[in-house]
Amino acid sequence: MGTILLSEVKNRILKVMNEYSVAGEVISSTDENALDYLLRMNSLIDMEQRKIATTSRKISKCLRFTQYPLTNYVNTTGITRYTGTALYFGGSTSIKSYSLQVDGSCTVDVEESVDGITYTTLDTTAVTITTFGQFDTVRGNITPTTDYYVRLKVSGTYDFNIGTVALYSATFPLDSDVPLYDDYIAKTLPADFYNIDYILTGDNNDYRPLIDFVVEGRTILMIPFNTNGEVRVFYWAYPTAISDTTLDTITLDIEDDAIDALVYGVALELVDETSSELYQRIKSKYDFYLSTLNNTITRSVQVKQRLFGKSRNRFFSGGY
């Protein structure tokens, strides 16, 4: 992250353009010419910082979260078709939560039994599907009378499909927190996400590259459900947008070593091309400062790889 204020960036731009002072006096910001430049600067600075942050000097950030693969006590996979006869899933003890997918309106009953033979209804959820043919997820925590057997009963008026069904021995803060049991789980990416650099997974400083992942749209990261441990998502970020109302007291997100390129890039947009000598000098400096930027970052994360049956340690250096 950078340390240079927006006000300082603007002053540097004016100095490069020879519009900062005259006859030994700083030009007032109320001067008509200076004001014309200043009114255009925020938008131009925003465009230039985004250009730099997505090409020459990317902003590196890290998203961390943990993932523990839960055991599913339902032994069905794939899609099950409901055709008018109630379907039952599970029948194990120590069950504390459930999730399943359905693409049609139906009723989901959570049932419990002291002997695993005779079941009574513990909870009923009526599911209404407004868009036929699209899966909706039903999920929730379960509080059995005691450590009874628990199963799900699914029934309805019309035929429909049942996707993934899961019964877990874990409880969650909210019903909406119960995960869907699938090959992949979805994690929401930060609002400033631009692109993935690389992902590590592991624990106790024993981290491995995770290459099996998918980014859906610009907001969802899909990783394997069986991922175990801490996940570190190193990603490239967009800089915080600068609008016409942004205060001069904010600090730019791009690194300090990219500020010179930004200053000359904005100055190049503001200066009159007919001022051939000044324009060419600024362009030459802009091209030079851009050429000095790169995305090489020294990684501080130690990664253990197993090669030929032996543990080898290595450090990431540069892009991955």
Q: Which residues of 114-145 are buried (b: 16+ CB within 10 A; e: fewer)?
A: eeeeebeebeeeebebeeeeebbebbbbbebe
Q: Is the pTM of this model over 0.85?
A: no
Greatest CA separation for the chain: 97
Task: Quickly list H helices, the chain.
Answer: 6-16, 32-53, 259-270, 276-291
* CATH of segment(s) 80-177: 2.60.120.260
Residue 285 confidence (pLDDT): 96
CA 201/CA 22 separation, integer angstroms: 58
pLDDT at residue 313 in the model: 40
**Dist. CA 50–CA 62, nearest whole Å:** 19
- What is the pLDDT at residue 286? 96
Cα–Cα nearest to 42, from 249, 248, 313, 259: 248
Model pLDDT, residue 120: 95
DSSP-derived letter for residue 5 is B
* pLDDT attached to residue 197: 94
**Domain residue spans of the chain:** 6-60+238-291, 61-68+184-236+304-317, 80-177
Walk along the chain (320 residues) and give the pLDDT tens digit of each residue.
789 999 999 999 999 999 999 888 899 888 888 899 999 999 999 999 999 999 999 999 999 999 988 999 997 778 999 999 999 999 999 999 999 999 999 999 999 999 999 999 999 999 998 888 899 999 999 998 888 999 999 999 999 999 999 999 999 999 999 998 988 989 999 999 999 999 999 987 789 999 999 999 889 999 999 999 999 999 999 999 999 999 999 999 999 999 999 999 999 999 987 778 999 999 999 999 999 998 765 555 554 444 333 443 433 434 43
- Residue for token digits 């390129």? 261
The pLDDT value recorded for residue 311 is 40
pLDDT for the residue 297: 59
Q: What pLDDT is stored for residue 299 in this prediction?
A: 53
236 strand-pairing partners: 60, 195
